[in-house]
Amino acid sequence: MSVNGRIPVLVAAGGAGWEAAALQHLATAGPGIVLLKRCVDLNDLLATATTGQAGVALLAHALPGLDGDSVELLRRSGVGLVLVAEPVDLGDGEEARLRRLGVRHVLDSTDLSSLAGTVVSAAEDSGPAAPAPVDDPGGTSEREVGTARTIAVWGPAGAPGRTTVAVNLAAELAARDLQTFLLDVDGYGGAVAQHLGVLDEMSGLLAASRMANAGQLDLARLGALARAVNPYLRLLTGLPRADRWTEVRDTAFEQLLDQARTLARYVVLDTSFCLEEDARASFGSGAPQRNAMTLASLEQADEILVVGSADPVGLARLARGLVDLLEAVPGSSLRVAVNRARPSLGWGEKEVRAMIEGFVTPRSVHFLPDDRAAADRALVAGKALVELGDAPLRRAVGALADAVAGTPAAGRTGPRRRLRRSGRVSR
């Protein structure tokens, strides 16, 4: 970004030996490039960058605290980034890490002759970073990168059964020999681990998010963090406490979703209920957003499965929720599951379906019976319904899984292919 036709540069070298040479190159680069400030550390630089006065930040590769969160803050502030690194620090693995962080411009500290041109380039492309290619060390998958079909399971407030449906949908897909990855991304405290009887000694979501923020999350590491429930079902456990949502940074979570789509044929996301955006986001604040995981999951999903309860209060919430959902994520592909349906409520499937279709046009509407005995038995045993034999609820979720996967129809073409752009570190 240029300011009044000039490119103001912030420098944070952390005492590196190349700083004097870099300042000399900037001083002789011509009137278009000006030194705005020499910053004492990364925090000083980030604080100055958010004022809107800077165009490019010139940083030492080894500057303490440099991570995906700080790179994203610079991007949101419209500040381009140039890293200067010692040659010994730039192996193939480190360049891959920098690409995952969104760093585009890296210079060799022993040759700064191209510094001025790189500063101009960084100022010109200081917008969103192109997503980096996902690493697949050791040939973990033979699929195209990022081709998994992603299903976000969402529902309004009031505990309509989102987690129960998400867990059992994933289990049914896995029972059809479809590699499935279930992620607990409920920012208000997930319960998927309890549903599947997994001893959650470490949150997979928090560990993966920290790795992504440091640029260290690759396919092998994410695979190691995912718990193998059975040969076809993997699980990434969620937040151990609701107040730890602040540890999952927005950019890191999006990188996590990109990696997750390479581990399985289907990705099932158990989200939270809230669609509100923090008011601070309207003012460009870089602070974490409580509902960012849910909104990102819904935006990136190929299909959203909306779960509502069949009682009068639940249906009223479902109707309002469908309207709010389409406002938050316009053009989404929706499927609706009406949970805990029972004859005693006094209306039939035809009436409920007509009510839903008065608000949206879903791909299909499914009715899940109020089979409390089967649901309780599964939850107490820490198992999915499919593991406990036949039951009305299990059959209904199985039919839902068939509709999602399209397994009864011969010649199913498979999940939609996502187009990706490859990032590149320039040197």
pTM of the predicted protein model: 0.79
Query: Which pLDDT does position 289 carry in this prediction?
Result: 85
Per DSSP, the three-state class of 98 is helix
**Does 351 share its domain with 270?**
yes
Q: In which region does residue 284 sit, left (phi positive, over 0), alpha (psi from -120 to 50) or beta (all else)? A: left
Any domain includes 292? yes
CATH number of the domain where residue 171 is located: 3.40.50.300
pLDDT at residue 284 in the model? 53
Say whether both 118 and 164 belong to one domain: no
3-state DSSP assignment of residue 288: coil
Q: Are residues 166 and 92 in the same domain?
A: no
The domain tally of the chain equals 2
DSSP 271-283: --S--PPPGGGGG
pLDDT digits (tens, 9 = 90+) for 367-418: 999 999 999 999 999 999 999 999 999 999 999 999 999 854 333 333 333 3
Nearest-10 crossing angle of helices 68-76, 250-260? 110
Would you mind telling me the total number of residues written for the chain in this entry? 427
> How much is the pLDDT for 287?
67
pLDDT tens string 317-346: 999 999 999 999 999 999 999 999 999 999
* Domain shared by 22 and 83, yes or no: yes
Residues 306 and 160: beta-carbon distance below 8 Å: no
Amino acid at 398: G
pLDDT in tens, 45-72: 999 998 889 999 999 999 999 998 899 8
User: Can you tell me the distance from the alpha carbon of 221 to that of 202, in angstroms, rounded to the nearest whole number?
Assistant: 14
- Are residues 267 and 317 part of one domain? yes
Let me know whether 62 and 186 are in one domain: no
- Residue 150 sits in the same domain as residue 296: yes
Task: Tell whether 94 and 172 lie within a shared domain.
Answer: no
pLDDT at 286 (0 to 100): 60
Report the candidate in 207, 274, 197 with the shortest Cα–Cα distance to residue 238.
Answer: 207
CATH number of residue 47's parent domain: 3.40.50.2300
Tokens, residue 420: 């990706």
Say whether pLDDT at 196 is over 50: yes
Order across the sheet with 56-60: list the strands: 33-38, 7-12, 56-60, 80-85, 105-108
Domain carrying residue 351: 139-405
**Shared-domain flag, residues 92 and 228:** no
Domain identity same for 106 and 227:
no
